[in-house]
Amino acid sequence: MKIGIFDSGIGGLSVLHHAMKKMPGTEFIYYADEEHVPYGEKTVEEIKGYIEEILDFLISKEVDAIVIACNTATSVATKEFRAGYPVPIVGMEPAVKKAVELYQHTGKRILVAATPVTIAGNKLHNLLERVDKEKDVDLLPLPKLVRFAERGDFESEEVEVYLREEMQDLNLEDYIAVVLGCTHFNYFKESFRNVFPENIHFVDGNEGTINQLIRVAKKDKNPGTEAKVSYYYSGKEVTEEEKSEIENYMRQLDKMYRK
């Protein structure tokens, strides 16, 4: 079975990482749209155009299913839009439902951090209406974090100063959990931890997304034993140097998810 996974950049590697664990015999194509990252600063029309190009590319590679490993792209790629393609397309949304189920009983608040496009999108507001009946959830757009991530800067002083600035109007002691509503934000757990005064929990959408992929993808009749991945940056196969950079991120994710 061949699965295409895409994001604007390195954020979706956390989704690929989870998929490789859960679907060991699968062949993956990982597509990062490095020419157009960050999506969160683009218009909805621009993002739709990028998505169309990527979906056509992945379909030309004969994938059996596609994962949009990007909350921002999913928020503009509606179900109707996805239905126009010949393979199942699984999107991702901030894991608010899971966070509410896990933490509502604590009486503390939940913070959803995402890109400005995701925060402004109807998709998230409709989700909140369905699952946040008690109004325990607050939203926080973090426009600059994707740029930090793409520079490989996850734990610097600058990142922490930025997070403190963006969260200065919040009562940080009120929160029990952060929903990482952008796949790039998975890399910043340590920096978030440093900003919150008390122990904070993180919820991401990777597990739910890959469970959904497993549900919709055809069963592999002869699964291999090891996952195989080829990486593309905006339609071009990555260079050896880029590949070793990606492998470095995958090792960081290994460490992170072992904690």
7 binds ligand DGL (CB under 6 A): yes
Any alpha helices (H) in 23-156, and if so which ranges?
A: 44-60, 71-76, 79-83, 96-103, 116-120, 122-131, 145-150
Determine phi and psi for 70, rounding to 5 degrees. -150, 120
State how far the Cα of 9 lies from the Cα of 201, in Å rounded to an integer.
Answer: 25
Distance CA 212, CA 205 (A): 11
Interface residue with ligand DGL, options 14, 26, 72, 209 (CB under 6 A) = 72
Residue 206 within binding range of ligand DGL, rule CB under 6 A: no
Of residues 102 through 121, those in contact with ligand DGL by CB under 6 A are 115, 118
* Nearest distance, CB of residue 11 and ligand DGL, angstroms: 3
Position 184 contacts ligand DGL (CB under 6 A): yes
CA-based radius of gyration for the chain? 18
Applying CB under 6 A, what is the total number of residues that bind ligand DGL? 17
Tell whether residue 4 is a contact of ligand DGL (CB under 6 A).
no
Tell me if 6 contacts ligand DGL by CB under 6 A.
Answer: no
Decide if 70 is catalytic: yes
Our finding on whether 40 is near ligand DGL (CB under 6 A) is: yes
Q: Active site includes 54?
A: no
Q: Residue 204 Cβ, how far from ligand DGL at the closest point, in Å?
A: 10
The minimum distance between CB 257 and ligand DGL, in angstroms, equals 17
Please state, as a whole number, how many other Cβ atoms lie within 10 Å of the Cβ of residue 52.
14
**Can you tell me the distance from the alpha carbon of 113 to that of 178, in angstroms, rounded to the nearest whole number?**
7
Residues 6+ apart with CB under 8 A from 66: 3, 4, 5, 6, 55, 58, 59, 85, 87, 88, 89, 90
Q: Does 209 bind ligand DGL (CB under 6 A)?
A: no
CB half-sphere exposure, 99, CA atoms < 13 A: 30
In DSSP terms, which residues pair with 232 in a beta bridge? Answer: 31, 237
**Residue 183 contacts ligand DGL per CB under 6 A:** yes
Binding mask 140-159 vs ligand DGL (x if CB under 6 A, - otherwise)?
Answer: ------x-------------
Q: Which residues bind ligand DGL (CB under 6 A)?
A: 7-9, 11, 37-40, 70-72, 115, 118, 146, 182-184
